[in-house]
Amino acid sequence: MSINMPTLPRDPTRRAVILLNGVIICRSMVFLVPVIVPYFALRIGLDFQEFLAAEAIFAAAVLGFEVPSGWLADVWQRKWVIILGTLISALGVGLFIPARDFADAAVAQVLMGMGIAMFSGADSALLFDTLRLHGQEGRYHKIESRRHGFGLYAVALSSIIGAWLFSIDPALPIAAMVIAYLATAVCAWFLVEPERDATAMKWQRPQLRVLLSANRIIIIAILSGAVLFAATSVAMWSQQPYYSALNIGTEWFGLLMAAGYVSGGVAGQFGHHLTRRLGSVHAQWLIWTALVLSFSVAGLWPGYSGVALLLCGSAAWGLGWPLVQAIINHRVGSARRATVLSMAGAAVRLGFIPLSAVIGWMSMENDIALAIFGLAVMLFLLGGPVLWWLNRAMKDSAIPSTSITARSG
C-alpha cells in the first residue's frame, strides 16, 4: 500500500531565476581583469595613466548608451537587449588582441561600453517584473543579492584562471572572455519575457524629468551609489599598480583579486540580512565609513596590510549595489524600470570619469599610495553630504514605500 505524499507547487519563477543566475555568472567571467594593466603595458604599450584614460573612454561609452539602452529594454523585450549587448561586448573584447596603440584600445573600449550598457539594468528589471507577476516582489532583494554574489564569485574564479592563462599566452584570457559572453547570450535566449502592460511598451520618448521628480529618494539613491561605487571602481583598478609597487609578481594578481571578489560575493549573498537589521541608509553609512578608513590606511601606510584593505572595495560593491537597485525597483514602475536602473549605472560611470582622471594624475605625479589616500579624502568629502541627504529624505518620506509605479505603468 503506497502513501501519496502531497507535492509542493512548483515555483513559477524558478526557471527565470536559474537562467538569470546563468546570465550574471557568464557575463562576470572577466578573465582579463586581473591582468589588464600588465596586458595594456606589454601588448599595447600603455602606462597606468593611459590605461585609466582608456577606462574613462569605456565609462563614457557606457554613460552615453546607458539610458537609451535602458529605454530600449523597456519598450522592447529585455532578453533581446541582453543578447545584443553580449554580442557587442564579445566583439569589443576580441579587438584587444590586434590592438597596438591607444586608438585601437579606445575603439575596443567603446564597443565594450556599448555592450555593457545594453544589458545594464535589463536583467534586474526582468527579474523584478517576473517576481511581481507572481506576487513575489518581496523576494527581490534577497534573490538579487544572491545573484550579485554569484557574479562576484564568477569574477573571483575567472581572476585565478585568467592570471594562469595570461602566463601561458596574454591573448588567452581575451579568448576565454569572448566564449563567456557567448554563453551569456545562450542563457538569455531561453528566458521568457514576463507579461507587461502593452501601453508600457510603446515607442515614446522617455520623460525622465517627470519620472524622477515624483520621488526625490530615487535621485539621491542614484547619487549615493555614484559616489560610493565610482570610488570602488577606481580602487579596483588601482590594486594592480599597488601590487607592483610592493614588488608582488603578476602571478599573484589573480589570486589576490579573487580573494577580494570572494569577499564581495559573500557580502552580496548574505548582505540582505545586514540591511534588514540596519536599514538601507545605515548600511550605506557603514559602507562609506569602511571604505574611507580602508583607503586612508592603505594609502598612508602602504604594505601588505594595504593589499588586504583595498579588497574592501569589492565587499562594498557586493553589499551596496543590490541595495541601491532595491531602493529603485520598489519605487519605479515596470514601464521605466530598466531605464532608471540604467541611469543608476550611468551615474557610476559619470563619477568614474573625473575621479579616475584625478587619481591617474596623482599616481603619475607622486605614487599610487598617495593617490589612494587622495581617493579616501574625496570619498569622505563627497560621500558624507550625499548620505546625510539620503538619510533625511528617507525620514521625511511619510510613506517609505510611496512609488511612482501608478504614474509610470
- For residue 14, what is its C-alpha cell? 524558478
For residues 278-312, b (16+ Cβ closer than 10 Å) or e, as one string? eebbebbbbbbebbbebbbbbbeebeeebbbbbbb
Give the model's confidence band at 185: pLDDT under 50 very low, under 70 low, under 90 confident, else very high. Answer: very high
Residue pLDDT, tens place only, 63-121: 778 777 777 777 777 888 899 999 999 999 999 999 988 999 999 999 998 888 887 77
Which residues, including other chains, have CB under 8 Å from residue 209's CB and lie 6 or more apart? Answer: none
Q: Is the pLDDT of residue 124 over 50?
A: yes
User: From the CB of residue 203, how many other CB atoms can be counted at a distance below 10 Å?
Assistant: 8
- Residue 401: pLDDT band with limits 50, 70, 90: very low
> Do residues 322 and 151 lie in contact, with contact meaning Cβ atoms separated by under 8 Å?
no
Q: How many Å is the Cα radius of gyration of the chain?
A: 21
Rounded Cα–Cα distance for residues 247 and 269 (Å): 33
The single-letter DSSP state of residue 44 is: I
**Where do the structural domains in the chain lie, given as residue ranges?**
14-193+206-408
CA distance 293 to 213: 35
Q: Is the pTM of this model over 0.85?
A: no
User: Could you tell me which residue, 345 or 9, shows the higher pLDDT?
Assistant: 345
Greater pLDDT, 365 or 163: 163
CATH of 14-193+206-408, one of 1.20.1250.20, 3.30.70.270, 3.40.50.300, 1.10.10.410: 1.20.1250.20
On the question of pLDDT at 42 being above 90, the answer is no
Out of 68-77, 108-117, 188-197, 241-250, least confident range = 68-77
Instruction: Place 334 in a pLDDT band, splitting at 50, 70 and 90.
Output: low
* pLDDT over 50 at 8, yes or no: no
What share of the chain in percent tops pLDDT 90? 17
- Inform me whether the pLDDT recorded for 347 exceeds 60: yes
Confidence class for position 197, pLDDT limits 50, 70, 90: low
